[in-house]
Structure 1
Amino acid sequence: MAPETLRRSNLGELKTGSKVNLERAISGEVRFGGHFVQGHVDTIATIESITPDANSLRFSFKMRDVENINYVVEKGFISLDGTSLTVTEVDFDKATFGIMMVAYTQDKVVMATKKVGETINVEVDLTGKLIARQIEALMAQEYAKEDSKLGQMIERIVERKLKDMMK
């Protein structure tokens, strides 16, 4: 296993006989009805709680690398241990999020067998990461301009904050 994989994932925690989800990619000729994920791992999260809710399980997680919470949105999707799931709640301040796993999915994936305190692999939304990167690049380009409106706005905000602090 590559060092990058071990740094980002929980695969180094696995032991002989540990179960993992393996799923083949779909071909271009197949009807696509799910979420678009790549199968990469951005970080890990720790299971904080598992609560039964009728025949479903409500999971709550805490991100290890808190900056990744910025790419998680309620009713968006996230891939956890290779399973694409809908996000039911997000707390950006605590870097936590939740999902609900229906009975059908519980029977098909490894995550349903995990306990509180265990870790799961997380792939956040690629589209969110791409949009954030483009905004950062555009803002940096704009700020670098000599007569940048963005730079002028930032200077006004900083001046205002400094005045408020001096009061």
Structure 2
Amino acid sequence: MSHPLTYAVVERERRFLLRRLPDGVVRTSAITDRYLLGTRLRLREVVGDDGHVVRKLGHKVRLGEGPAEVACTSVYLDEAEWALLLRLPGHVLRKTRHHVERDGRAVAVDELEDGTLLAEIDDGDRPPAPAPGWLDVVRDVSAEEAWTGAALAARAAEEA
């Protein structure tokens, strides 16, 4: 029998609150995440600059303490699957993702509906490198549960 994480991709993300959006945005996408209540599942719809829509079901399993290292598995959905799963209860988070490429680094900067800027850097298998100076970091929130997507969606649901 294979290991339950055989098909997962490990993400080692660090997250930073930013003062401003950095130069070097190469594309943007509109993302709507629906975190299904009582699960580790997320429905994600991504609409690119070109109008192309991708819908997927994601499953995240934490590998250590805190939210920094997770194993992620995605399943791409057709219209019928999307419509069926969308009926499940969940908390929604909407954001604009700015894909920044600068000085050989790729960084995703999410702009939340309230204007908050949250940068994500996936270190992959490399040791964490210092955040690039051009990010204009307010603070590192990588270890703070409140800055995970699920927590942000739950907070948005409470405020609605």
- TM bracket (short chain): under 0.3
Which protein is bigger by CA-based radius of gyration?
Answer: 1
TM-score by length of 2: 0.25
More strand, by proportion: 2
TM-score by length of 1: 0.24
More helix, by proportion: 1
